[in-house]
């Protein structure tokens, strides 16, 4: 689970995240939807323990991030929007390095790496250098690393950017399977289609504030009708602001 209460991040006099509260329960895929610059990455980086909040409380799987940072982070997986990968490692070496970071070693490592590479359809490339991988393959490798230590909660920042349809399908399936096993997933996206297709619950963020939260059906109802598509709902909720970036991808 992930529970965030009244989270704030200020950069000087600018407030990037302005009192965000949200909860992701075990087994849920929670979509964090908003236009570019809304504060999604800043929020996710605070939950990942990479950025210190100005104010607010973060609980990860029952551990307060400020009081028990190691326990909180050990139970969390994080897939950043622009991951750094050592290009001169093979897929196997990259995952072995990550396993070491999480204290996974000994006889179970080989099997666990194999399982992750199978899940993300990378097993054939286990001993190939990462520099030869396509964008989608690199993204899948980063996901393999994030799930390696069996986290109970996973943060994913814009996972669908630049993926081909097959890669996107695979990732959607894997996330759903992980959620079905009780993993809580918080996934940011600026595309309505992704939120609508993948998420059990959606929170819409605009200028650092959550302006609406609920199931996709709840959000449709908010805009006045069960038959409505989410696009006009979003337009209505945001007053049409900040949607240039979104228009490109709908």
Ligand X SMILES: Nc1ncnc2c1ncn2[C@@H]1O[C@H](COP(=O)(O)OP(=O)(O)O)[C@@H](O)[C@H]1O
Residues linked to residue 57 through DSSP beta bridges, in sequence order: 5
- The entry of Mg ion, ligand X, none near residue 216 (CB within 5 to 8 angstroms by kind) is none
**34: partner contacted, choices ligand X, Mg ion, none (Cβ within 5-8 A by kind):** ligand X
Report the nearest approach of Mg ion to the CB of residue 199 (Å): 17
DSSP 185: E
d(CA 224, CA 233): 8
Nearer to Mg ion by C-beta: 45 or 138?
45
Residues 6+ apart with CB under 8 A from 149: 74, 77, 99, 102, 104
Q: Which residues bind Mg ion (CB under 5 A)?
A: 40-41
Count interface residues toward ligand X (CB under 6 A).
11
Q: How far is the CB of 52 from ligand X (least distance, A)?
A: 12
Minimal CB distance residue for Mg ion: 41
In terms of Cα–Cα distance, which of 51, 68, 57, 53 is closest to 23? 57
Quick one: which of 16, 168, 174, 192 contacts ligand X (CB under 6 A)? 16
DSSP H helices, the chain, are: 40-47, 69-74, 91-101, 108-119, 135-147, 165-180, 192-198, 216-222, 230-238, 244-249
Q: Which of residues 19-58 bind ligand X (CB under 6 A)?
A: 34, 36-42
Residue numbers at the binding site for ligand X (CB under 6 A): 11, 14, 16, 34, 36-42
């Amino acid at each position: 689970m992930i529970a965030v209460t009244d989270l704030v991040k200020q950069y000087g006099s600018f407030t990037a995240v302005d009192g965000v509260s949200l909860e992701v329960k075990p087994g849920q895929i929670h979509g964090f939807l908003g236009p570019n610059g809304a504060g999604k990455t800043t929020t996710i980086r605070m939950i990942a323990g990479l950025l210190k909040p100005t104010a607010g409380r973060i609980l990860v799987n029952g551990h307060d991030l400020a009081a028990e940072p190691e326990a909180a982070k050990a139970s969390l997986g994080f897939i950043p929007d622009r991951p750094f990968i050592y290009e001169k490692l093979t897929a196997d070496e990259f995952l072995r390095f990550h396993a070491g970071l999480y204290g996974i070693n000994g006889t179970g490592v080989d099997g666990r790496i194999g399982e992750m590479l199978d899940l993300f359809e990378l097993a054939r490339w286990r001993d190939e250098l990462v520099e030869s991988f396509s964008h989608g393959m690199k993204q899948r490798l980063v996901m393999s690393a994030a799930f390696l230590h069996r986290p109970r909660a996973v943060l994913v920042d814009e996972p669908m950017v630049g993926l081909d349809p097959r890669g996107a399908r695979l990732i959607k399936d894997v996330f759903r399977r992980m959620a079905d096993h009780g993993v809580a997933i918080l996934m940011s996206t600026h595309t309505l289609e992704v939120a609508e297709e993948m998420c059990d619950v959606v929170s819409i963020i605009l200028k650092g504030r959550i302006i609406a939260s609920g199931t996709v059906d709840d959000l449709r109802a908010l805009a006045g009708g069960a038959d409505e598509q989410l696009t006009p709902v979003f337009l209505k909720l945001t007053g049409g602001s900040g949607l240039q970036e979104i228009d490109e991808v709908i």
